[in-house]
């Protein structure tokens, strides 16, 4: 007899901020957001009739907690990245050893999407458009970037960590200064990519019963008095910063050619890079309107917030947050049976 999905027992697995944030809370806001998301997901699942267990872990309780999960499905919201990514890899190992059914990224796709340099190389290997870049591991490498301005990012962080108004370099001297500073501060490689001056989109993909769906793109629109038209850490997480309200998200019909281009590049990238159930792709255009992948998120943040592109996208096709979350559950369930 077919199991009724509404009676499922689901563990919502998420990580607490690691111990390093006790001594340096600079980016703690982005880490605490995971717990907010977990509670929203729990409420959404309960509204669909599921029996839900909220399952927080720390870097010290990975084995104990995951080995104690007794559920039909684990809704995986782990977001350890950067120097903490090893904790996430261990959590995946424990889930896999137990043959747990879980939503979203596999261990490999999570690792690859956490490392922006791996993602850049994957895009190149699969002929997926991404801005030109150069990687730096020491900061002393010969600079081969030829198109300024460039945006400097650290390779293994999320939620715009390491991105500020001082991340734009307009010449070789400023590029080397920024790169050295980022490598020293974040203790990981950095890279510089051509700064794209056109429109920016967040695109949500969802595996539904009739195939992969590309939801209507959400566009990030910057106000004219923004110092730098990009999502910096402070503009996303610091309500006291003057750029905090200088961007809005909207979901509007696009020109047919651009909409088709965005759709085509996303449906190629999703299977090529091993994504599962759902994803969010960040895409930006150059000044001539050509789109390029910025980031491909295999376990993106989830929440019912109208300032988040994903929310606008699922609402544009008539879904509530609970509907969207349940689609992820059904996708993971189909995959486990298939």
- pLDDT score, position 243: 63
Report the distance separating Cα 271 and Cα 250, nearest Å.
27
pLDDT confidence of residue 253: 87
Q: Both tokens of residue 118? A: 């791996």
SS3 content of the chain, % helix, strand, coil (to 5): 40, 20, 40
pLDDT < 50 regions, the chain: 1-6
pLDDT of residue 246: 76
What's the pTM value of the predicted model, to 2 decimals?
A: 0.91
pLDDT tens readout for residues 23-32: 666 655 556 7
What's the gap between Cα 38 and its chain centre? 15
What's the number of CA atoms in the CB half-sphere (13 Å) around residue 319?
Answer: 22
Instruction: Give the separation between CA 130 and CA 183, rounded to whole angstroms.
Output: 22
Residue 235: per-residue pLDDT: 62
Please list, in sequence order, all residues whose beta carbon lies within 8 angstroms of the beta carbon of residue 263, skipping any fewer than 6 positions away.
Answer: 214
Q: Give CA–CA dist 296/85, Å, rounded.
A: 17
Q: What is the pLDDT of residue 163?
A: 83
Strands 218-222 and 247-250: antiparallel
Q: Which residues contact 160 (CB under 8 A, 6 or more apart)?
A: 30, 231, 232, 233, 235, 236, 237
Q: Which residue has the tokens 């901020």?
A: 17
The domains located in the chain, with CATH, are 5-102 (3.40.50.20), 113-129+196-316 (3.30.470.20), 133-194 (3.30.1490.20)
| Structure tokens belonging to residue 246 | 């200088």
């Amino acid at each position: 007899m077919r199991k009724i999905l509404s009676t499922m027992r689901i563990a919502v697995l998420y990580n607490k901020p690691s111990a390093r944030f006790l001594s340096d809370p600079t980016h703690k806001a982005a880490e605490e957001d995971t717990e907010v998301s977990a509670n929203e997901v729990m409420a959404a699942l309960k509204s669909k009739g599921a029996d839900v267990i909220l399952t927080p872990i720390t870097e010290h309780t990975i084995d104990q907690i995951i080995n104690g999960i007794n559920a039909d499905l684990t809704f995986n919201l782990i977001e350890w990245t950067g120097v903490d990514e090893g904790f996430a890899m261990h959590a995946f190992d424990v889930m896999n050893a137990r043959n747990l059914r879980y939503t979203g990224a596999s261990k490999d796709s999570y690792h690859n999407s956490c490392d922006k340099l791996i993602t850049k190389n994957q895009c190149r290997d699969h002929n997926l458009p991404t801005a030109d870049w150069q990687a730096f591991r020491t900061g002393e490498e010969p600079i081969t970037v030829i198109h300024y301005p460039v945006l400097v990012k650290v390779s293994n962080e999320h939620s715009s960590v390491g991105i500020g108004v001082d991340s734009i370099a307009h010449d070789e001297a400023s590029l080397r200064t920024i790169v050295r500073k980022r490598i020293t501060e974040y203790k990981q490689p950095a890279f510089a990519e051509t700064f794209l001056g056109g429109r920016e989109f967040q695109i949500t993909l969802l595996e539904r019963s009739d195939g992969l769906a590309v939801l209507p793109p959400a566009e990030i629109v910057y106000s004219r008095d923004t110092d730098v038209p990009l999502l910096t850490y402070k503009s996303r997480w610091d309500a006291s910063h003057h750029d905090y309200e200088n961007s809005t998200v909207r979901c509007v019909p696009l020109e047919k050619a651009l909409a088709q281009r965005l759709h085509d590049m996303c449906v190629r990238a999703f299977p090529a890079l091993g994504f599962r159930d759902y994803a969010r792709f960040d895409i930006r255009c150059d000044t001539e309107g050509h789109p390029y992948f910025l980031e491909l998120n295999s376990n993106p943040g989830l929440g019912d917030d109208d300032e988040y592109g994903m929310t606008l996208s699922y609402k544009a096709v008539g879904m509530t947050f609970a509907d969207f979350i349940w689609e992820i559950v059904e996708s993971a369930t189909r995959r486990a049976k298939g």
